[in-house]
Structure 1
Amino acid sequence: MVSRIPEVLLRHRITIEPYLGDGAYGPRHGAPVPEIPALVSPSTRMVRAPDGREVTSSAQIITAPGLDCPPGSRVTLPDGRITTALSITHHTAPGLPVPACSEVMCE
């Protein structure tokens, strides 16, 4: 039984600066977490932002389960482009032979 997505499938490396909240001078982010194994798909999709708006996602990221990437986090993609996390979904299927993973939709 597969319990998590195999790291061999996560061919890209990304950096995440977790969103910590808004401060007096705008959004605050945590220290960069580099070299996170991921699978990045640079395709355009419509997704729903945390506030309910429909927005366009230009990159979708699959990582190992348990990723700390709240909406608003800065994400540096393998090509160097810096984007913002719109939403994160943790996929699990207890008892089924499918891998658990985290999926991040980015601007």
Structure 2
Amino acid sequence: MVTMPGTLPGWMLKRMGWDVTVEPYQGAGPYGPTYGAPVTVRALMDAKRRLVRDAQGAETISETTLRVRLDHVDDFPPGSRVTLPDSTQPTVITTSRHDGRSLPTPSHLEVALT
């Protein structure tokens, strides 16, 4: 994995992070949603309920927020299925890219889950 300047520090992910598995949403199939191959991602997890807007702008409740490195931005399209350490499988509501570029802030992707 290439370390980008200003990303979430590797030591922080190693000490405080969790391994989650994401199956990227690919679309609706004849028998329901279809997903891509599972990818394991190290993430900081915040199990706190908050109000977010989905891709269509509707207000919905997010039960969990993940923070992952920006190089995983393509792994979390809305509708993706995520397996958390407790084996629950919420779906991605929306993502927010926080890119500090050259500023001394940790750039990351914030992922809101149902």
Which residue number corresponds to residue 32 of structure 2? 26
Which residue number corresponds to residue 48 of structure 2? 43
Contact residue 6 and residue 102 of structure 2 kept, 8 A: no
Which residue number corresponds to residue 87 of structure 1? 94
Shift of 1:44: 0.3
1:104 is aligned to 2:111: yes
Which residue number corresponds to residue 69 of structure 1? 76
Shift of 1:66: 2.4
Give the count of matched residue pairs. 105
Letter in 2 for 1:22: A
**1:26-46: per-residue Cα shift (whole Å, max 9, x none)?**
211011112x11011111000
Secondary structure at 1:8 match in 2: helix
CA distance in 1, matches of 2:97, 2:71: 7
CA distance in 2, matches of 1:104, 1:61: 5
Contact residue 7 and residue 64 of structure 1 kept, 8 A: no
Question: Which structure dedicates a bigger proportion of its chain to helix?
Answer: 2
Letter in 2 for 1:7: G
Which residues of structure 1 form unaligned runs of 5+? none
Provide the TM-score with structure 2 as the length reference.
0.87
Contact residue 29 and residue 73 of structure 1 kept, 8 A: yes
Provide the TM-score with structure 1 as the length reference.
0.92
Q: Which runs of 4+ in 1 moved over 2 A?
A: none
Contact residue 66 and residue 90 of structure 1 kept, 8 A: no
**RMSD (CA atoms):** 1.1
